[in-house]
Amino acid sequence: MISRVAENCFWMMRYIERAETTARLASVNRMVILDAEIHDAQRWKPIIIVLGEQERFEQHVGVKGYDSDKDSEEYITWSEDNPASIRSSLAGARENARMTREVISREMWETINTAWQWFNGPQARKLYRADKEEFHLRVRAVCAEFQGDCHNTMLHDEPFDFMQLGLFLERAGQTARVTDVKRHWLTPGPRSSSESPTESAQWAGILRLCAAVEPFFKRHTSAATGPLVASFLLQDPGFPRSVVYSIDQVAAYVERIGRIIRRKTSTPSLKLARSVSTQLRALDLTSLSTNDLHRELTQIVNDTAGISSQLYADFFHL
């Protein structure tokens, strides 16, 4: 049976990836609001929805909170009621790091502990009020530093494998969720042979949300259209934030863990990850409407949740 330490490692890196994604969502959405001239509740409601927090947001903040940049950003960043907030994610990462001090490196612990102390101190709040862009860059830099420390300063054995498993499983689901922001930015209308400037700006915004602008234009010289962006974010095997790349990494680490613990047969989670990857590669995105794409993205989110549940059955709760 896999140790509890491995489970803590799995969640520690999921929380780090979640904090980085939420910080990027908050930062980039502010730019998208200006570029696409989005007004009223549609400024932040799509972000709340893709974070899976619509019901809880409306319960704790209220429907009118969507109209308030301040209330929405506070909920995304600081709320203890929001399990996807930056605060909750950093708290989860730090707590799981504390419980795995014997396996993570000193550098990893110092990075997350120092970041948590800064986040809870007056300097973070002061920076947030003065320059939200710089604040979110600081959070993203901490997450990147922690991931770099993980790769460069700890043993690449079972705990490391579970960290990477958590990271890529979280990333696959988050990329699918973020890509689905497009559906909530625009009210679906009649299909047109060409996209409006607003739609093009929004697809470019999706690329920014996924840190994919430069990689995308190294693959494509044409404009950022829906089919091209969706195909890149879901199916490009060379982009480390694409869904198919992330699922392939999940499969690779599940297989590696199986070898380490001397499993004689492939685990159901490995078979499921490989099946999801195969289905993703076969998906034709060129003819999908916005609603069709939404259904496929919802299925991907459900598939990643299914892989996570199966991992628990395979490794954590035999």
Task: Please write the tens of the pLDDT for every residue from 169-196.
Answer: 999 999 999 998 877 665 444 444 566 7
Among candidates 234, 237, 220, 250, which has minimal Cα distance to 294? 234
Domain range summary for the chain, segments of one domain joined by +: 1-153, 156-318
Burial of residue 186 (CB within 10 Å: 0-12, 13-18, 19+) is middle
Instruction: Kindly state the average pLDDT of the residues 241-262.
Output: 93
Q: Which residues contact 105 (CB under 8 A, 6 or more apart)?
A: 149, 150, 153, 154
Among candidates 94, 93, 236, which has minimal Cα distance to 170? 93
- At 38 the pLDDT is 65
Instruction: Kindly state the average pLDDT of the residues 192-206.
Output: 72
- At 191 the pLDDT is 47
Instruction: Kindly state the average pLDDT of the residues 8-13.
Output: 96
Q: If you search the block for the tokens 């612990």, which residue do you land on?
A: 109
- At 3 the pLDDT is 76
What one-letter code names the amino acid at 181?
V
Structure-model confidence comparison of residues 99 and 287, the more confident one = 99
Find out whether 157 and 33 touch, Cβ atoms under 8 Å: no
**pLDDT tier, 259 (very low <50, low <70, confident <90, very high otherwise):** confident
- At 115 the pLDDT is 97
pLDDT beyond 80 at 229: yes
The CA distances from residue 150 to 107, 128, 187, 218, 221, in Å, are: 8, 27, 42, 28, 35
- The model's pLDDT over 34-89, given as tens digits with 9 standing for 90+, comes to 765 666 767 889 899 989 999 999 999 999 998 888 999 999 999 999 999 999 99
- At 30 the pLDDT is 82
The CA-based angle 210-212-216, given to 5 degrees, is 145
- The model's pLDDT over 288-315, given as tens digits with 9 standing for 90+, comes to 777 788 899 999 999 999 999 999 999 8
Picking from 30-39, 248-257, 268-277, which range would have the lowest pLDDT averaged per residue?
30-39
Q: Which residues contact 158 (CB under 8 A, 6 or more apart)?
A: 2, 6, 257, 260, 261
Q: Measured between alpha carbons, how far is 264 from 208 in angstroms, rounded to an integer? A: 43
